[in-house]
Chains A and B, each alone.
Chain A
Amino acid sequence: MASTHILSAYDDELKYLSRRISEMGGLAEQMCSDAVRALVNSDAALAQKVISDDVILDHAEREIGDKAIITIARRQPVAADLREIVGSLRIASDLERVGDLGKNTAKRVIAVQGTGVPRKLARGLEHLSDLALVQLKDVLDVYATRSAEKAEAIRIRDEEIDAMYTSLFRELLTYMMEDPRNITTCTHLLFCAKNIERIGDHATNIAETIYYMTTGAQPEGDRPKDDSSNTLGAITE
């Protein structure tokens, strides 16, 4: 943003919102990466840390909401300022959800601790999580620059995550069919995989919000399809 407000306190309020969003983004990213690490290493202590970090994220979302409301009431923002503030609210809510997904994954660490995670599945989960976290990290970088072009590029990339998720889903089903004793663990892992895939969706939401904040328009064209695991019912024969 090249220009500044005549009222410098208004600029400070907007800067506060974007600083807090960046902080939330950093923490959400850390939580999700920790959660997957805790899962593949059966690290209960790390999982516990993720669970307690979620409180910080919830708190940050509420503070951003309060500050946004006060700013709206005080400044009656219009145009790019209005979109900036509404965008902050949406992004804060996406990041709060990302934190929840990390927490949910962390909670499952305890459940799968007994059996451990088969090496091949662990690698699949890590790969999926790498993709999702790169997506999240990139979108947070784009948030810092507010580039509509880059936001659009990220939005299209979500496809890769969906494909990876679908293949992991397939693999988990195979494990369950091979030995019913795998079912409990695999079901938990399935939820974890879904959680990670959802992180990609939130990153995509954030990319769309950034696009809107910058241009005032919704990005054109459909966003990439959701995962296709919903059509994998008849995988057996």
Chain B
Amino acid sequence: MNMMSESAVEKALDQKMSDASHKMIGKDVSVYYGEKRALFDVNLNVRENTVTALIGPSGCGKSTFLRCLNRMNDTIEHCRVTGKITLDTDDIYDQAIDVVELRARVGMVFQKPNPFPKTIYENISYGPRIHGLSKNKADMDQIVEASLQRAGLWGEVKDRLHESGTGLSGGQQQRLCIARAIAVSPEVILMDEPCSALDPIATAKVEELIHELRANYTIVIVTHSMQQAARVSQRTAMFHLGQLVEENDTDKMFTNPDDQRTQDYIMGRFG
């Protein structure tokens, strides 16, 4: 079935990554929560078909930056974003941008699996329906199946599509949320600590999924697990006190980082 060997696929992807255009470009991004400044002139580019991990101590601004990428900060009162963020060539903070459409292009998966209290089928079909992505039932069935396939969940749920999504295990719920994000054909998927509520096996399944999704999507993941960043990402960005201190190839970051703060953080050192 596999026409290319695993390593050939990896190679092709790595090649693609090294010539990767920047899917999203963040320029001088600053964020204020009222008087409090949470991000300081962050310049970070997100490469296409690449998993970019955001790491750093709690409160350093990882989630804040992630939320800038699909304007989730708009929903937070007193939150102000300055600087410029583009998706391909579109300035996402432009007046003319339809935020709902933006969030379809840049999907999000949260820390705690949050399926709707509806059936598995409805969890997936909700997004495509409100975005008008399907013409009829057969179309929708097709989207639901494809999304669950891509999220590696189809085999486990195909006989219970009309049971509640909240009846699934934690790991399955998280993959359901990823399937839900995929269903609206996003270009970028943002994940904020997607495995922190999962056990090691469920975590491994989600990581495997992230690994596969890289071929078709651009992924940005916030994680507090160094090992997870090392395992799933090709690029790593280290934040500290609201600043981006280093962005590098993940392999370099975990063998010989350039910045002392990165070094101290990933090695679990202080002082």
Chain A residues near B (Cβ < 8 Å): 2-7, 10, 76-83, 215-217
Chain B residues near A (Cβ < 8 Å): 226-227, 230, 254-257, 263-264, 266-271
Q: Which residues from B are CB-within-8-Å of A76? A: 226-227
Q: Which of B227, B230, B255, B269 contacts A83 (CB 8 A)?
A: B255
Q: Do residues B268 and A10 form an inter-chain contact, with CB atoms below 8 A?
A: yes
24 contacts between A and B (CB under 8 A): A2-B271, A3-B269, A3-B270, A3-B271, A5-B267, A5-B268, A5-B269, A6-B268, A6-B269, A10-B268, A76-B226, A78-B226, A78-B230, A78-B255, A79-B255, A79-B256, A79-B257, A79-B266, A80-B256, A81-B267, A82-B254, A83-B255, A216-B255, A216-B256
How long is the Cα–Cα vector from A100 to B116 in the complex, in angstroms?
68
Which B-chain residue is minimally distant from A76 (CB atoms)?
Answer: B227
Q: Which residues from A are CB-within-8-Å of B254? A: 78-79, 82
Which B-chain residue is minimally distant from A212 (CB atoms)?
Answer: B256
B224 → chain A closest CB, angstroms: 14
A7 → chain B closest CB, angstroms: 6
Q: Do residues B267 and A77 form an inter-chain contact, with CB atoms below 8 A?
A: yes
Q: Do residues B270 and A80 form an inter-chain contact, with CB atoms below 8 A?
A: no
Q: Do residues B266 and A78 form an inter-chain contact, with CB atoms below 8 A?
A: yes
B230 → chain A closest CB, angstroms: 7
How long is the Cα–Cα vector from A154 to B48 in the complex, in angstroms?
46
How long is the Cα–Cα vector from A192 to B270 in the complex, in angstroms?
49
Which B-chain residue is minimally distant from A10 (CB atoms)?
Answer: B268
Of the listed residues A6, A10, A79, the one surrounded by the most CB atoms of chain B closer than 10 A to its CB is A79
Q: Which residues from A are CB-within-8-Å of B256? A: 79-80, 83, 215-217
How long is the Cα–Cα vector from A81 to B257 in the complex, in angstroms?
12
Q: Which residues from A are CB-within-8-Å of B271? A: 2-4
Q: Which of B226, B227, B230, B267 contacts A80 (CB 8 A)?
A: B267
Q: Which residues from A are CB-within-8-Å of B227? A: 76
Q: Which residues from B are CB-within-8-Å of A7? A: 268
A237 → chain B closest CB, angstroms: 54
Q: Which of A4, A10, A80 contacts B263 (CB 8 A)?
A: A80
B4 → chain A closest CB, angstroms: 31
Q: Which residues from B are CB-within-8-Å of A4? A: 269-271
Which B-chain residue is minimally distant from A216 (CB atoms)?
Answer: B256
Q: Which of A2, A3, A10, A82 contacts B255 (CB 8 A)?
A: A82
Q: Which residues from B are CB-within-8-Å of A216? A: 255-256
How long is the Cα–Cα vector from A217 to B268 in the complex, in angstroms?
22
**A5-B267, A80-B256 are known contacts; what are 5 more A-B pairs with Cβ within 8 Å?**
A3-B264, A4-B270, A6-B269, A77-B267, A82-B255
Q: Do residues A6 and B255 form an inter-chain contact, with CB atoms below 8 A?
A: no
Which B-chain residue is minimally distant from A82 (CB atoms)?
Answer: B255
How long is the Cα–Cα vector from A78 to B227 in the complex, in angstroms?
9
Q: Which residues from A are CB-within-8-Å of B269? A: 3-6
User: Would you list the 6 A-B pairs with minimal beta carbon distance, nearest first?
Assistant: A216-B256, A3-B269, A78-B254, A3-B271, A78-B266, A81-B267
Q: Which residues from B are CB-within-8-Å of A77? A: 267
Q: Do residues B270 and A6 form an inter-chain contact, with CB atoms below 8 A?
A: yes
B259 → chain A closest CB, angstroms: 11
How long is the Cα–Cα vector from A81 to B226 in the complex, in angstroms?
14
Q: Do residues B270 and A78 form an inter-chain contact, with CB atoms below 8 A?
A: no
Q: Which residues from A are CB-within-8-Å of B255? A: 78-79, 82-83, 216
Q: Which residues from B are CB-within-8-Å of A2? A: 271
Q: Which residues from B are CB-within-8-Å of A78? A: 226, 230, 254-255, 266-267
A215 → chain B closest CB, angstroms: 8
B8 → chain A closest CB, angstroms: 28
Which A-chain residue is minimally distant from B258 (CB atoms)?
Answer: A216
Which A-chain residue is minimally distant from B226 (CB atoms)?
Answer: A78
Q: Which residues from B are CB-within-8-Å of A79? A: 254-257, 263, 266-267
Q: Which residues from B are CB-within-8-Å of A80? A: 256, 263, 267
How long is the Cα–Cα vector from A77 to B266 in the complex, in angstroms?
9
Which B-chain residue is minimally distant from A75 (CB atoms)?
Answer: B268
Q: Which residues from A are CB-within-8-Å of B266? A: 78-79
How long is the Cα–Cα vector from A3 to B264 in the complex, in angstroms?
8
How long is the Cα–Cα vector from A105 to B105 in the complex, in angstroms?
72
How long is the Cα–Cα vector from A6 to B266 in the complex, in angstroms?
11
Of the listed residues A3, A10, A78, A82, the one surrounded by the most CB atoms of chain B closer than 10 A to its CB is A78
Which B-chain residue is minimally distant from A2 (CB atoms)?
Answer: B271
A212 → chain B closest CB, angstroms: 10
How long is the Cα–Cα vector from A3 to B263 in the complex, in angstroms?
10
Of the listed residues B256, B264, B267, the one surrounded by the most CB atoms of chain A closer than 10 A to its CB is B267
